Structure 1
């Protein structure tokens, strides 16, 4: 039994999964940008500035970006050398063995599955408000879950199925759609920066660091630049989805590292620019509002700003949702292919070259959760799952350098093992700033995954049967 838990798979960077290899480095970079730039840029920047960091929110984004950067370098090395479509799940299988791989896969299901349902709820809220601006009001029964007095959150349920059908049509079509919508939301951001930069008032940047580096208030709340970094880390959630596309990349050993690092650097620069401009045109204390970008533009006299921001948010959330659903299907596909969940779902449609069964399963489950269950604070657990996967990927780089020093590494981390160690320390520190309740929910989720593994997965593992 113990030997089975530690049994690892060989690296397989050139594995043939049956999926269509059609994504370029450019497509992969836009995949990461599509998932990483969402409501965070329109909402999170203002909240973090007002409640945590002040104008020094730009430093919070820098610290969060650096922590994510260390993880991105680790992802890039493993993506090029280990390969596979399971992201941190596949890397853990090679580095640590089946049991740790299952736990990582289970955590990724939380990150992508619950994250997708939460984003669908957020998109539905903006969609309903946008319709209301045009005097189109949907019945309460169709916009609220049963526990909230309605029947179904129909917009959240519906958008999941629209994107599910898009994913079934093929990965290239999904990628092209993502690229178009990313261009729309980046255009919105460029318009905001161009308009607001003409009204900068440097007095708004003083004091630059009103809450210091880190402090704990009497009520237990943490403030300061480092606490703000833990909050704005949500803005970087999802860039690792690039690594789930390994089996569909044209040249994964070259294109995956490019896509991962390019998307992270680009998103970090955009967040720094937006947060710097935002705090430069409005005093940071006024930004604790639901839509700080729209508030700033309205204050500058641009009355049509709510329409601009609504367009950016709706476009931004659609790409986030699309990439999360895509990543979820590829992780489950890899787990099904290994026998840890039913192999029924790992069948590839020969015409579309997509795992239609697993896409339909994800569409059914996520749409039901989004339509009938208000997620509430459960969505916060997504953050700790993301950080945990980042930490394990960094550890995996170190372990594989020791266990398999001769493994071909087309992309190799500089200053090893300094980079992965810094990734472990920085992401671990951000985890330490998260609330205790988040840790409790995370523990219960992992415990449920362990139960599933020993009741089903360990007895159906293809690696175990082969051995």
Structure 2
């Protein structure tokens, strides 16, 4: 085995048309932007904002969101450049294959499967909790046997498993149908956020912003590290490259506009939360709805709860969608079994990937207490962001003449800042998270050296 085999790179599909007859090009810039908003705005705004304000930053949580949004923007700019110039539905996996080599691509693809899969299952469990609370409010609460897995004293978390299977059916119907559903859910949660903003704006008490930085600048940075993961998800937009009508133009729009809109929403909501009530009181499970109740608006609290459920639904949908497209790309390249590379001729969707991954994620969501491994999502996301930033620098050096419809400004400074930011946040994650991540990567390397390296489409070409 030669090192050159491990570092072989794919031809760059700058025209995005290598597999043009399989997936259907139906997504425009608005669809892609709404996919980004659907993935980003979820539990973060409805839960993390209050926790971070109460325990880390105080009213300066607005600065924490600005810092985290800026750090995330470095990676978003790198994603925008590679999505427009390299293309493909494999996102960071495909970009690494073109710029850094097969072994790096395998590692990041295996990592993305973990990231999207664990995140979808974890969010499904959170979604189940919100839905059961809503059912309890109207006297229809499910018994604990049907809301907890066997390891928690129940039988199965039925709502968590069911929502994954329902989303599997929706994704199987086609990307246009999935995008329409996502758009409806995004509108629901944006209406809920708008109502909160309108109600809270009339109850602002400036005294609550004094002191503005009770925990100092360290608190601001601690808050930024905590809520950074509220931005996770925009990278899934790049997996839609082969289903976008004009990917070289529209993918950067979808990635950057969704990140910008969500950053603005986060800053406004966090600012109002801390201006309406004293920040120490925000360390509760659902701070936005709780504030509405304290202000005497139970109907607004109900709408916020509905917005949270809609938000979690779109997060699951977009992450699940991203998982299937990365899996499809890896199967096309021979690194995973080719049976998963087939796209249904009628729906133009990879139904086999959707069904198999859906059954696995439904089982995980319904039967396991996934909270302990949810931090794997954090390290997986940061690893992907890191390699995408490095990929921009690498491809600028190795393919200087590659057409780049969108260019990361001030390169290599911006992508290097992105890589440094991600590495810094990764180093601040717990040791146990690194150990679990290492075990997952070790399993992936075993699969690569026993199966993927020999079945690689590039290996067949070279032989």
Shared fold, TM over 0.5: yes
55-64 or 447-456: bigger deviation:
447-456
224-233 or 82-91: bigger deviation:
224-233
- Show structure 1 runs of 5+ residues with no match: 215-223
Q: 2:82 aligns with which of 78, 82, 93?
A: 78
Contact 1:16/1:247 (CA < 8 Å) preserved in 2?
no
Q: 2: CA distance between counterparts of 1:385 and 1:108?
A: 7
Structure 1 SS opposite 2:374: helix
Q: Residue 397 in 1 paired to residue 392 in 2? A: yes
Q: 2:256 aligns with which of 238, 256, 261?
A: 261
Q: Residue 436 of structure 1: CA displacement?
A: 2.3
Counterpart in the other structure of 2:156 = 152
CA offsets, 1:14-60, max 9 Å, x none? Answer: 22321001100110000000010001111110000001111111111
Q: 1: CA distance between counterparts of 2:184 and 2:290?
A: 27
Q: 1:348 aligns with which of 343, 347, 355?
A: 343
Contact 1:230/1:431 (CA < 8 Å) preserved in 2?
no
Q: 2: CA distance between counterparts of 1:70 and 1:137?
A: 44
Counterpart in the other structure of 1:29 = 33
Q: Residue 140 of structure 1: CA displacement?
A: 2.2
422-431 or 183-192: bigger deviation:
422-431
CA offsets, 1:282-341, max 9 Å, x none? Answer: 111110001111121111111234312220111111111100110000000000111111
111-120 or 14-23: bigger deviation:
14-23
Q: Residue 437 of structure 1: CA displacement?
A: 2.1
Q: 2: CA distance between counterparts of 1:59 and 1:111?
A: 27
Counterpart in the other structure of 2:112 = 108
Q: Residue 432 of structure 1: CA displacement?
A: 2.6
Structure 2 SS opposite 1:304: helix
Contact 1:227/1:433 (CA < 8 Å) preserved in 2?
no
Q: Residue 449 of structure 1: CA displacement?
A: 1.3
Counterpart in the other structure of 1:275 = 270
Counterpart in the other structure of 1:233 = 228
Counterpart in the other structure of 2:44 = 40
Q: Residue 433 of structure 1: CA displacement?
A: 2.5
285-294 or 429-438: bigger deviation:
429-438
Counterpart in the other structure of 2:191 = 187
Structure 1 SS opposite 2:217: coil
71-80 or 204-213: bigger deviation:
204-213
Q: Residue 451 of structure 1: CA displacement?
A: 1.5
Q: 1:286 aligns with which of 261, 281, 289?
A: 281
Contact 2:36/2:234 (CA < 8 Å) preserved in 1?
yes
Counterpart in the other structure of 2:91 = 87
Counterpart in the other structure of 1:125 = 129
Structure 2 SS opposite 1:415: coil
Q: 1: CA distance between counterparts of 2:443 and 2:202?
A: 53
Matches within 5 A, 1:315-330: 315-330=310-325
Counterpart in the other structure of 2:10 = 9
Contact 2:195/2:300 (CA < 8 Å) preserved in 1?
no
Counterpart in the other structure of 1:178 = 182
Q: 1: CA distance between counterparts of 2:46 and 2:296?
A: 18
Q: 1: CA distance between counterparts of 2:171 and 2:275?
A: 41
> Cα RMSD between the aligned structures?
1.0
Counterpart in the other structure of 1:217 = none
Q: 1: CA distance between counterparts of 2:27 and 2:196?
A: 31
Matches within 5 A, 1:351-430: 351-430=346-425
Q: 1: CA distance between counterparts of 2:304 and 2:158?
A: 23
Q: 2: CA distance between counterparts of 1:225 and 1:443?
A: 30
Q: Residue 234 of structure 1: CA displacement?
A: 1.4
Q: Residue 377 of structure 1: CA displacement?
A: 1.7
Q: 1:54 aligns with which of 37, 51, 58?
A: 58
Counterpart in the other structure of 1:134 = 138
Q: 2: CA distance between counterparts of 1:16 and 1:351?
A: 20
407-416 or 328-337: bigger deviation:
407-416
425-434 or 227-236: bigger deviation:
425-434
Q: Residue 300 in 1 paired to residue 295 in 2? A: yes
